[in-house]
Amino acid sequence: MYPFWSPDGADIGFFADGQLKRVAIAGGPVQPICDAPRTFPSGSWNERNQILFSLGTASGFQLVAASGGSVTTVPANRFSDRPQWVSGTDRFIFIFIDREPANPKMMIGSVSGGTPSVLLDLDAASSGALLAPSNVRVFNRAGALYAQRFDPSRLAVTGAARALLDAPPLA
């Protein structure tokens, strides 16, 4: 479940049987990396062969080498999910949902510590992703697909969001 690519595209990380695992695209055995016992995990793999993943709990994110080994907790706000590395940095983008009232935000944090900062307020039905290496952030908002540039040197979105595709009206 919930697969994600290695930076070179040669492997896929995924979650199965309560574990984070990997497998080569060319074939070969599935390699367990570490325990990941949750229903809705998500992960991201960086150029330094580190995997940052969420277990969908209030315990923050988990960081582990793609080859396996000890797991480190990276503190985050409650209800933080879907981490995605910012290419070439120790920073990552994630979704934070303040439950009362539902108020999702796209935020940026660092595995080195510090307080995460808000990149963008989202509406309750929004989600998003950073498309590396193009540094374009895509997200849905009110039934439409949008794109917006992300500047990794400034760690900020730049310019206006542009609608790419409107969803058909609900019947």
The two structure tokens encoding residue 61: 């994110």
β strands within 3-155, DSSP E: 4-5, 11-16, 19-24, 31-35, 42-45, 50-54, 61-65, 72-74, 80-85, 91-98, 103-110, 117-121, 128-131, 136-141, 144-151
* DSSP 8-state assignment for residue 137: E
Domain ranges across the chain:
4-134
Give me the pLDDT at residue 133, please. 59
Inter-residue contact 65 to 46 (CB < 8 Å): no
* pTM attached to this predicted model: 0.80
Give me the pLDDT at residue 171, please. 43
**How many angstroms from the chain centroid is the CA of residue 130?**
8
Residues 6+ apart with CB under 8 A from 153: none
Question: Would you give per-residue pLDDT tens digits along the chain (171 residues)?
Answer: 889 999 999 999 999 999 999 999 999 999 999 999 877 788 999 999 999 998 766 667 899 999 999 999 887 766 678 888 888 889 898 888 766 656 778 888 899 888 888 877 776 555 666 666 567 777 777 777 888 888 877 777 888 888 886 555 544
Domain 4-134 in CATH 3.40.190.80? The answer is no
